[in-house]
Amino acid sequence: MIDKRWQDALYITEVINDEGLEGHTYVPNGLKLKTSSPLNSNPGTNPEQLLGMSLSTCLEATLQAIEREHALPHTAAVYVKVAFVGSKAHYEFLVHAEVSLPGVAPALAQAMVTEVEDRCPVSQLLRQSANYTISLAK
């Protein structure tokens, strides 16, 4: 954590998991969620859903800003799919975000998808991975 930008952060949150996949993840004095493997029927969310929630909200928030900059009404919606793939030797997640921009001309809509991929902070973290893709909904 040598990166000096931590000192000028607009916001910092801490999140803990000290139990396991069948356990809880929580923000101290904040949100606490039950977690469970997606491969059993126990109640609880999982890393795949939580990553999809983070990415979909980040993309949607950034699209709202882009809509405002273009004086467009807010019509954007973001649908994220996260897949758990592989086998015991090596597991990976695949992440695909589909952006719906009803009422926006196709060329502008495509430009907005390219822009949101660059600007959304979660998208920036993922975009060097070949497992992350984003597209405009047909």
Residues 37-56 that bind its own copies (CB under 8 A): 37-39, 45-56
Of the candidates 21, 110, 111, 115, which one interacts with its own copies according to CB under 8 A?
Answer: 21
CA proximity to 58, closest of 97, 101, 23, 104: 97
Q: For the beta carbon of residue 21, count every other beta carbon within 10 angstroms.
A: 16
- Judged by beta carbon, residue 61 or residue 111, the one nearer its own copies is 61
- Judged by beta carbon, residue 81 or residue 108, the one nearer its own copies is 81
Q: According to CB under 8 A, which residues from 104 to 133 bind its own copies?
A: 119, 121-122, 124-126, 128-129, 131-133
CA distance 68 to 59: 14
Q: According to CB under 8 A, which residues from 55 to 84 bind its own copies?
A: 55-61, 64, 74, 76-84
Residue 6 has what DSSP assignment?
A: G
18 part of the interface to its own copies, by CB under 8 A: yes
CA distance 58 to 64: 10
